[in-house]
Amino acid sequence: MTAVMRSNRRRSAAYQPSGDLVPKVLAGSRPDIARLISRAEAEYAEASEALGEIYRHAGRAHIVGITGVPGGGKSTLISALIGAFSAAGSKVAVIAIDPSSPYSGGAILGDRIRMGDSAEANRAFVRSMATRGHLGGLARPTLQAVDILDAAGYSPIFIETVGVGQDEVEVVTAAHTVVVLSPPGLGDDIQAIKAGVMEIADIHAVSKADRPEAAATVAAIKGMMTLGSDVKGSSWTPPVLPLSASTGEGVADLKQAIDSHRQHLADSGELATRQRAICKHRILVAIDQLVRRRFDDGTEGLSEQLQAVVERKSDPQSAAGSLLASEKAGHGR
Amino acid sequence: MTAVMRSNRRRSAAYQPSGDLVPKVLAGSRPDIARLISRAEAEYAEASEALGEIYRHAGRAHIVGITGVPGGGKSTLISALIGAFSAAGSKVAVIAIDPSSPYSGGAILGDRIRMGDSAEANRAFVRSMATRGHLGGLARPTLQAVDILDAAGYSPIFIETVGVGQDEVEVVTAAHTVVVLSPPGLGDDIQAIKAGVMEIADIHAVSKADRPEAAATVAAIKGMMTLGSDVKGSSWTPPVLPLSASTGEGVADLKQAIDSHRQHLADSGELATRQRAICKHRILVAIDQLVRRRFDDGTEGLSEQLQAVVERKSDPQSAAGSLLASEKAGHGR
C-alpha cells in the first residue's frame, strides 16, 4: 500500500482513494464513474488496484464497436442508437475514440457536440477518450473505461472509432459485435477494399440511404461478402442494412440486428471464444505497457543502448534483447 | 548460431543464409533486397542477425511519410514523385502499408497497380507490406524494410500509409519528413480536425487543385495552422501546396519542399533529435514484440492466468504483472 501511495505525487485534501469509488461506481453513480475513468485515462498508479476490482465485477455488458471512414455519419448514427436502445429500457454508454496528436494530446469534442442532445435526453453516458499515441488505438485506458461502465450496469456499450486502419482492426479485439458504417459511393472499388475493414464487420450499415447511390453501395458490399465469406469462422451472415439516421429509416432494423448478433453469439458458443480472445489480448497489452513504462521511465541501461543505436554501433533488436536480459537479471520493479 | 538455426523449421536446398544476402543488398541487388524484405516480413529468426548488420549500414536515406484519407490520391501523387526524384538522379523506393485484415493477412495490390508504370519506367523499388494486426501500423518489419532499402542506397524512401488514425500518428515516429495529402472539400470542419493528422504535417499538399473547392481547402488548412502553430517545437513553417498529380501542377514544388525540409532538418540540428526519437521508438517496439512473442508462443503460466482472467478471478493487469515476475525469476529465453 505504501508503494502505491508513494507513486502518486500530488493529491488534494479532498482526494478520494480510488478504492472508495468502487462501491459508488457499482451503484451507478455518474460523477464517480467519470472520476474513475479520468484516473484510468491519466494512468494513476493509485487507481490500478481499484480498476482490477472493477474488472472482476464486469463482464455482463454487450460491447459494440462502430467504425467506418470519417464523414460517414457515425456520430449521428450513435445518437439514433442511443434513442432506440434507451427506449427499449437499456442503460446506454458510448466511448468515442479521438485519434489525437502525439504532441498536444488534445481530444476534439465534435462527437460530444453531435451526440449531446440525444445523450442528455436519454441519460446515456458519453465519453470521449484520446488515444494519445499509444500503440494501438484502443489501449488500456479505453478497455478499463469499458470495464467501469460495464460494472456500473451499462449495456450496450458502444465504442466509436474514427478513421480507417489500425484502430478498426483493434476494435475487433475488444468488441462482441462490430458494426461497419459505409457512406454511399465513397471512392472507387480498390479504395473500398483497401479500407480493410470489410472483413471485421458483423453488421454492415450504409448511411444516407436516401441518396440514390446507396442501393449500389449495399449491392457492392454484398458482392464483396460473397468473395471473402466466413473469414471469422462464424456461422453468422453479416446483414447489410441501409439507413438514414436523419429520417430514422433503418435504425430499428440495426438495433434488432445488434440484438440478434448477441443472441447468436450466446447460442453458438462463440461468445465464450470471443471473451477468451479479448482477455488474451488484454493481458498482452498490459504486458506491453508494463515493460514499455519501465524502460520509458528511465532504466539506466536504456540511454547507453540508445546512444549505440543512434550511432549505428548496435541495432534496435540487439538493444532490446540486451535490455530485457539485464532487466531479467536485475533489480525487478 | 545453433539456436538461430534450430528456430528455422523448413529450408529448401537452395536457401541462401540471410548473412550471405547482406553484401548483395549493400551492392544494390534488387532480387536480394526483395528476398531480405520478405524474410523481415515473415519474421524469420534466421534473418535477425543479418537485419542487425543491415541496420548498422543504414542511416543515410531521407525517409518521407505520405499520409491522408483514402481516396485523396496518394498513389497517384507518389507516381509523380517517383518521376520527379528519379529525373533528378535519385534512387527512389516506396513502401506502401496496407491495413490488412487480422484474419486473412492479405494485402491489396491497388497501389502496385497504380504506381506500376512510373515505378517500372524509373527503376524505383516499390513494395506493399501488410500490417497484419500488429499493434501500431508501422511495426518492425516495415522499419526493417526501410533499413534494407536505406543500406542499399535508396533515397528518398517514401512510406505511404492508408487511412486516418493511429497509422498516421505512427508514421511521424519513423519519418524525417511527413507529407499530409488532403483532397479538396472532404467532409466538414469537425471531420477535418478530427482526422487528427493536421499537426503531424511538415508539408501539406492539397490534391485535385483543378477543382474549384481546392483553393478553399488550402485556405482552411492555413487557417488551422495559425491556431495550432509550432506544436512540433520546430522553426519550420509547413507550406500548403495545391497540386494536381494528373496535370503535374505543383509536383515540382512539392519535390522542392521535401528537399528544403531535409536541408532545414540538417541545418537546424533537428535531424539528430528526430533520429534519436526514431531509435528510441524502435527499441521500445522491439522490446514490446520480444515480450509479446515469448508469451504468445506459450509460456506455461499464460494459460492459467488467462483462465483466471476469463473467469474474472483475476484481471489483465494483475495477470501481466505475475507473468512478468515469473518470467524474470525463470528460465529466460
Chain centroid, CA B140 distance in Å: 9
- Residue B192: band (very low, low, confident or very high) from pLDDT cuts 50, 70, 90: very low
* Phi, psi torsion values for B58, nearest 5 degrees: -90, 180
Record: contact B286-A325, CB cut-off 8 A: no
Cα dist from A292 to A166, A289, B288, whole Å: 20, 5, 7
pLDDT at B21 > cutoff 90: yes
Arithmetic mean of pLDDT over chain A: 78
Question: Strand order of the sheet with strand B93-98?
Answer: B125-130, B93-98, B157-161, B63-67, B177-182, B203-206, B240-242
Return the pLDDT at A277: 83
User: Out of A42-51, A149-158, B159-168, B275-284, which region has the weakest mean confidence (pLDDT)?
Assistant: B159-168
3-state secondary structure of A193: helix
Between residues A132 and A234, the one the model is more confident about: A234
Q: How far is Cα A84 from Cα A259, in angstroms, rounded to an integer? A: 12
Q: Give helix A18-26 / helix A48-57 axis angle, nearest 10°.
A: 20
Rounded Cα distance, B138 and B135, in Å: 9
- Tell the residue number behind the cell numbers 504483472, with chain if given: B321
Superfamily name with CATH number, domain A58-268: P-loop containing nucleotide triphosphate hydrolases (3.40.50.300)
Taking an 8 Å cut-off on Cβ atoms, the answer to whether A101 and B200 are in contact is yes
Q: How far is CA A40 from CA A20, A75, A141, A320, in A?
A: 15, 24, 5, 28
Q: Range with the lowest mean pLDDT among B43-57, B72-86, B136-150?
A: B136-150
Percentage of residues of chain B with pLDDT beyond 70: 70
Least confident of A39-43, A201-205, B283-287: B283-287
Among the partner residues B48, B161, B317, nearest to A48 by beta-carbon distance: B317
Query: pLDDT class for B195, splitting at 50, 70, 90?
Result: very low
- Of the candidates A143, A144, A146, A108, the residue with the CA atom closest to the CA atom of residue A125: A146
Highest mean pLDDT among A130-134, A322-326, B41-45, B203-207: B203-207
Q: How far is A276 from chain B (nearest CA, A)?
A: 6
Does position B152 have pLDDT exceeding 60, yes or no? yes
Q: Collect all residues of chain B within an 8 Å Cβ-Cβ radius of residue A58.
A: 312
**pLDDT confidence of residue A36:** 96
Provide the pLDDT for residue B110: 40
Q: What DSSP letter does each residue of A103-151 carry, written as one string? A: TT-----HHHHHHHHHHHHHT-EEEEEE-TT-SSSS-HHHHHHHHHHHH
CB distance A22 to A33 below 8 Å: no
> What confidence score (pLDDT) does residue A328 get?
56
What pTM did the predictor assign?
0.65
Give tens-digit pLDDT for A131-158: 554 444 456 788 899 999 999 999 999 9
Residue linked to cell 498490459 = A286
Q: What are phi and psi of B247, to 5 degrees?
A: -90, -15
Contact A52 B318 (CB under 8 A): yes
- Selecting from B55, B164, B328 the residue whose C-beta is nearest the C-beta of A315 gives B55
Q: What is the pLDDT of residues B284-317, one digit of tens each?
A: 778 777 777 776 666 667 788 888 998 999 998 8
| B56-75 mean pLDDT | 85
Task: State whether ipTM is beyond 0.85.
Answer: no
Write the residue in B71, B200, B287 that is nearest to A291 by C-beta.
Answer: B287
The residue in chain B having the minimum alpha-carbon distance to the alpha carbon of residue A315 is B52
Residue of B17, B105, B88, B94 whose CA lies nearest to B61 = B94
For residue A310, give the nearest of B135, B279, B315 by CB distance. Answer: B279
Residue A107's pLDDT band, with cuts at 50, 70 and 90, is very low
Chain B residue with Cα closest to A108: B194
pLDDT of residue A29: 94
8 Å CB contact of A280 and B165: no
Class of domain B58-281: alpha beta
Domain ranges of chain B: 1-51, 58-281, 300-333
Q: Do A287 and B290 count as a contact with CB atoms less than 8 A apart?
A: no
Tell me the backbone φ, ψ of residue A164, rounded to 5 degrees: -135, 125
With a cut of 90, say whether residue B26 has pLDDT above it.
yes
d(CA B138, CA B130): 9
pLDDT score recorded for residue A99: 55
Q: Answer whether A196 sits within 8 Å of B98, measured CB to CB.
A: yes
Q: Provide CB contacts within 8 A for B148, sequence distance 6+.
A: B25, B33, B36, B37, B40, B51, B54, B58
Residue B283 has pLDDT above 60, yes or no: yes
Please say whether the beta carbons of B55 and A313 come within 8 A: no
Cell matching residue B14: 537452395
Residue B35: what pLDDT?
94
Cα–Cα distance list, A268 to A75, A155, A235, A260, A271 (Å): 31, 21, 8, 12, 8
Q: Which of A78-92, A138-152, B252-266 has the lowest mean pLDDT?
A: A138-152
Is A71 a residue whose pLDDT tops 80?
Answer: no
- Spell out which residues of chain A touch residue B313, defining contact as CB-CB under 8 Å: 56
